[in-house]
Amino acid sequence: MPMRAENPLHLSAEKLSLGCPVLDRLLGGGAPCGFVTELSGEAASGKTQLCLQLLLSAAAPRSSGGLSAASLFISSEPPFPLRRLLSLSSGAAAPLDHILVSTAFSFKDLLNLLKHVDALLSLVRPPSGRPIRLLVLDSAAAIFRADSDDARRRSSEIFTLAAKLKEQARKFNLAVIVTNHVVDVFDGGSSDQHIGNYLNLSSSWRKVCPAMGLAWANCVNMRLFLSRTAEDGNGDSGTGGSFGRKLQVVFAPHLPETSCEFMIRREGVFGVATQA
Amino acid sequence: MEVSALPISPTNKEKLISAGYTNLASLVIVSPIRLSRELQISVQEASNIIKVTLQCSGAVGLDGRHVVLRGAQTAWEMFSDEQNLKHISTGSEDFDGILGGGIHCGEVTEVGGVPGIGKTQLGIQLGVNVQIPIVYGGLGSKAIYIDTEGSFMPERAYQIAEACIMDTLESFRFHRKGAEDCHERMQPNYFLANILYFRICSYTEQIAVINNLNKIVVEQKDVKIVIIDSISFHFRQDFEDMALRTRVLKELSQTLMKLAKKFTLAVVVMNQVTTKRTDGSFQLTLALGDTWSHSCTNRVILHWDGNDRRAYVEKSPSLPQASASFSVTGKGIRNAISHSKRVRMM
């Protein structure tokens, strides 16, 4: 099959709304379809919350910024937060038939699952009646952090996974969201200065860096970082978790390095508009 | 072949031999003026003799050049060719400065750096800048963009093209000659349409497209840059036979070098960064190993210096090792905003 050149003007530029206008504006419209977007952050930074909101947004009709599509949620850290999903979609009927949930605990499981997903994605009439347009993997770190005896094998597995995800993202115009943990960064590490701006990342008074190293960083198209901000004073003053949270664009080919505060309420994740 | 066998008049033959020109090799290198003086004939006649000699000795290439060996060039000819070559600007004068004017046509340049440093930005910028029309000092050519990572964003390319057009028009505000002709070309849409985009999802596709480039360039005519972003992504997966990987990559690089030479176009290859263990400590290095590192003519490393981005010419046969800071702005690649750090020679 000869490959044909494409005109960039005809490439898809569809975005999946995050379900909040402030966050969408920060990201130039939302999570791009055809892209692998990483959401990294420490535990309880809001990664899964944002993922759930994306699931609802994908199912929402196009008139309200959704894709009117189905989505696939692959969990490596069960249980799937079904109650939270229901509370987020309060009011409207939860689009549960349009959210497929699966689990994978190892690289092998995951790759097999994704191969089956290929078949599911290419069905002309998908089971839920809508095409799948969003794939969430929560989290990639759990898969690769569990078994890491052989660094070389691990990195080739990371690249294999990334290539598969990117291929599916491209072929089926999927928005792919992958969550990642963070690791602590210790000052005085010799190679850290070269990696540069990661040193600016901090969450809950700690210097951190997204997990899975440089190999994985090479694999994502866009890296978002969720943090609990230190500027907010005593985060543990018992005010019901109202410490500051920040969403930061670490790198993305189409966005400058920006950030925005956000909060998590019962109704969902909301960005805080800065006074301009 | 002897002078006596040349298809010229017998008197001239005699004159040549008595002047000491017994073999063709000595005739090939003499100038017409000198020959006319020595033989006491007109310059016209002398240059005719030289022309006939060149044809007979088979020392004239198809392009009318003097060639010692078929297909070979003298260093002098290469030098004058190089003088006529244009460079593709990176968008930042400081960056262009350490590259000797910009990215060189006819060469393969490798650009490496950590994720988020601006490799893709540079790729898009070059794909746009190569299209600046000739009247505005550009090359007025097309670009081929081979995207293996899926990071090419049309909306970003549009932004960069728009800014490039605005800046170009601004700096040529008082220069109207011939500018009207390319008025309709100075549109972001036109620029985007002249980036021939290939999205690659596996290494087999990557090899296929690179092997097909020759044909594509011939079909499309004036392509002056091929950008591969990145060469390494699909080669870092499960490759059981590492020796095979090395051979395949070597072949790809040779194909790219031939292409660059044949069509005098620039090939820019992005590469990822990996950690390498040497003497127990970890160091950052470009991916794909040692054999690959010989594969590109020039190697430029992009790296962080505190909060500034810097570019560093690590390897080049013609440029000194130097570094310069640059920045990635809304408009694309530009000079660093803080001018405190000037070009630093190593």
The three-state secondary structure class of A70 is strand
| Better pLDDT: A261 or B81 | A261
- Tell me the one-letter amino acid at A191: S
Q: CB pairs below 8 Å between A and B: how many?
A: 137
- B65 in the same domain as B214: no
Token output for B145: 């963009």
- In a domain, residue A5? The reply is no
Domain final residue pick, B42, B72, B102: B72
- Pick the residue with more confidence: A231 or B100? B100
Does residue B259 lie within any of the structural domains? yes
Picking from A7, A156, A171, the nearest residue to B237 by CB comes out as A156
Greater pLDDT, A154 or A32: A32
CB contact under 8 A, A193 and B304: yes
Pairing mode, strands B308-315 and B108-113:
unpaired
- Chain B nearest C-alpha distance from A227 (Å): 19
Tell the residue number behind the tokens 């001239």, with chain if given. Answer: B12
For chain A, how far is it from start to end, CA to CA, in angstroms?
52
Burial of B210 (0-12, 13-18, 19+ CB in 10 A): buried
- Does residue A248 register a pLDDT over 50? yes
Tally of domains within chain A: 1
Same domain, B66 and B96: no
Q: Name the DSSP class of A191.
A: T
Task: For residue B267, give the nearest of B305, B333, B205, B217 by alpha carbon.
Answer: B217
Considering the domain boundaries, does residue A216 fall inside one? Answer: yes
Does residue B252 share a domain with residue B141?
Answer: yes
Residue A51 lies in a domain: yes
Residues B49 and B154 in one domain: no
In this structure, are B235 and B341 located in the same domain?
yes
Please answer whether residues B326 and B94 qualify as being in contact, where contact means their C-beta atoms are separated by less than 8 angstroms: yes
Question: Chain B interface, mutation test: which of A218, A221, A248, most B Cβ atoms within 10 Å?
Answer: A218
Co-location of B209 and B92 in the same domain: yes
Residue A157 lies in domain: 13-271
Per-residue pLDDT, A197? 52
Whether B79 is covered by a domain: the verdict is no
**Residue A29, burial from CB neighbour count under 10 angstroms (0-12, 13-18, 19+):** middle
At A191, the pLDDT band (50, 70, 90 cuts) reads very low
Return the amino acid letter for B201.
C
pLDDT at res. A187 = 61
Average model confidence (pLDDT) across chain A: 84
Q: Tell whether B196 and B267 lie within a shared domain.
A: yes
A233 pLDDT tier (thresholds 50, 70, 90):
very low
- Same-domain check for residues B191 and B309: yes
Say what the pLDDT of residue A1 is.
Answer: 47
| pLDDT 10s digits, A168-187 | 999 999 999 999 998 887 76
In a domain, B80, yes or no: no
Asked if A32 and B153 come within 8 Å (Cβ–Cβ), the reply is yes
pLDDT at B207: 94
Instruction: Please report whether residue B266 resides in a domain.
Output: yes
How many domains does one find in chain B?
Answer: 2
Nearest CA in chain B to A173: B150
Q: Has residue B121 been placed in a domain?
A: yes
Statement to judge: residues B153 and B236 lie in one domain: yes
The pLDDT score that the predictor gives to residue A240 is 46
Q: Is residue B78 part of a domain?
A: no
Question: Residue B329: what pLDDT?
Answer: 93
- pLDDT tens sequence for chain B (346 residues): 677 778 888 888 888 888 888 777 777 778 888 888 888 888 888 888 888 887 776 655 445 555 555 567 778 777 777 777 789 999 999 999 999 999 999 999 999 999 999 999 999 999 999 999 988 888 999 999 999 999 999 999 999 999 999 999 888 877 666 666 677 788 999 999 999 999 999 999 999 999 999 999 999 989 999 999 989 999 988 777 888 999 999 999 999 999 999 999 999 999 998 887 776 666 778 888 888 888 889 999 999 888 889 999 999 998 999 999 999 999 999 998 764 444 554 4
Contact list in B for residue A218 (CB cut-off 8 A) is 115, 233, 236, 272-274
Q: What is the DSSP string of B308-346?
A: EEEEEEEE-SSS--EEEEEEEETTEEEE-S-TTS--EE-
Q: What's the CATH number where B258 sits?
A: 3.40.50.300
Q: Is the pLDDT of residue A241 over 50?
A: no
Asked whether residue B49 falls in the same domain as residue B100, the answer is no
**Is B237–A159 a contact, with Cβ atoms under 8 angstroms apart?**
yes
Contact in structure between B249 and B108 (CB atoms under 8 Å): no
Picking from B20, B40, B72, the residue at the C-terminal end of a domain is: B72
Tens digits of residue pLDDT in A107-155: 999 999 999 999 888 887 777 788 999 999 998 998 887 666 777 888 8
For B65-134, give the DSSP string.
-B-SSTT---HHHHHHHHHH--EE--S-HHHHHHTTSSEETTSEEEEEE-TTSSHHHHHHHHHHHTTS-G
By Cβ distance, the residue of B114, B197, B330 closest to A256 is B330
- Of B116, B120, B154, nearest to A8 by CB-CB distance is B154
Give the CATH number, domain containing residue A265: 3.40.50.300
Whole domain around residue B66: which residue ranges?
3-72
Q: Indicate which of A194, A220, A249, A250 best probes the interface with B, i.e. most B CBs within 10 Å of its own CB.
A: A194
Q: Based on the fold, state whether residues B28 and B97 are members of the same structural domain.
A: no
Claim to verify: residue B150 and residue B274 sit in the same structural domain: yes
Residue A2 within any structural domain of the chain: no
> Is position A1 within any domain?
no
Q: Is residue A4 part of a domain?
A: no
Is residue B157 domain-resident? yes
Lowest mean pLDDT among A66-70, A98-102, B110-114, B280-284: B280-284
| Structure token pair of residue A259 | 């950030």
Cβ-Cβ contacts under 8 Å, A34 against chain B? 150
